[in-house]
Amino acid sequence: MPSGDGTGPGGSSRGTGTGRRSGKGRGGGSGLGPGGLCVCLKCGEKISHQSGIPCFETRCPKCGGTMTRE
């Protein structure tokens, strides 16, 4: 894979859409909260969502498929 993981020069620093879902999560953990999962559309693999990186920009570590917010 020649290209990096999206941290290249042509980074995507423009946010399309203001997808702010319920600002404050439910109390509890510090950082990892409910809804912090991305699920693969192909194989169903679930990974923890990384803040700042939309799920649909994340590739499944298993099959490389597109992921979506669970």
CA distance 31 to 51: 9
- Residue 1 or 28 having the CB closest to Zn ion: 1
Closest approach, Cβ 46 to Zn ion, in A, equals: 9
Inter-residue contact 58 to 38 (CB < 8 Å): yes
**Among 36, 65, 66, 69, which residue interacts with Zn ion (rule: CB under 5 A)?**
65
17-56 footprint of Zn ion as x/- string (CB under 5 A): -----------------------x-xx-x-----------
The CB-side HSE value for 70 (13 A sphere, CA atoms) comes to: 14
